[in-house]
Amino acid sequence: MSVVAVISSPRKGANGDTVVNAMAEAARSNGKDVNVVYLNPMKDRRGCQGCNQCKTKGRCVVNDDLLPVLDAIREAESVILSAPVYFGCPCAQYRLLEDRFYSFLNADFSSNVAAGKKLAVVTTCGTAGAEELADKIEGTMAKLFGFKPVGKLAVGGSNPPDAAANDA
């Protein structure tokens, strides 16, 4: 598949969900295969276990619902990552996935993911912090793994959860 879109918000229909699905639809209309992944409904998901087997196996070995997401990101040409801001940080659902990005690093901390994957970041919040979180996610993915940022959208400032749905 060419695009993997990860929605980490626990609320379906919230701003991040709406924005990412609009982006996914635009990609589909341009002939891209898009896989939209919702993290919250996954029942078996764990953060990095620190086992370091990924350093010898070349990929994460924790066999849970996040493993296919990691594999899809590894194979995709483009990735959309989204997260709402909770207390100045990404939500827990995103953090579990982000911890597992450790498997994208070799033992010498060089990336084992093909450089140049296109990256779009979507962050949302009711108050402040969306822009800062978008910058952090974008920076991490670019610096550690060689992703190529192509855009980010930070929706914040006391928006109701359905603000994006009402704002074309």
Single-letter code of the amino acid located at 88: G
Q: Give pLDDT, residue 126.
A: 84
Q: Give the pLDDT confidence of 123-138 residue by residue, as tens digits.
A: 998 888 899 999 999 9
Is residue 147 over pLDDT 80?
Answer: yes
Is residue 155 over pLDDT 90?
Answer: no
> What's the average model confidence in pLDDT over 143-150?
97
For 133-141, the CB contacts below 8 A with 24+ separation are 133/83, 133/85, 133/88, 133/89, 133/90, 137/81, 137/83, 137/90, 140/98, 140/101, 141/79, 141/81
Q: Give the pLDDT confidence of 63-104 residue by residue, as tens digits.
A: 999 999 999 999 999 999 999 999 889 999 999 999 999 999
Q: Give pLDDT, residue 160.
A: 65
Q: Give pLDDT, residue 168.
A: 66
The DSSP code sequence of 68-82 is HHHHHHHH-SEEEEE
Report how far residue 62's alpha carbon sits from residue 46's, in angstroms, rounded to the nearest whole number: 8
Whole-angstrom distance between the N-terminal and C-terminal Cα of the chain?
27
The DSSP code sequence of 80-149 is EEEEEEETTEE-HHHHHHHHHGGGGB-TTS-B-S-TT-EEEEEEE-SSS-HHHHHHHHHHHHHHHH--EE
> What's the average model confidence in pLDDT over 50-63?
94
> What's the average model confidence in pLDDT over 4-22?
91
Q: Give the pLDDT confidence of 23-53 residue by residue, as tens digits.
A: 999 999 999 999 999 999 999 999 999 999 9
Look up the pTM and report it: 0.93
Q: Give pLDDT, residue 114.
A: 93
Percent share of the chain, pLDDT over 90: 81
> What's the average model confidence in pLDDT over 94-115?
96
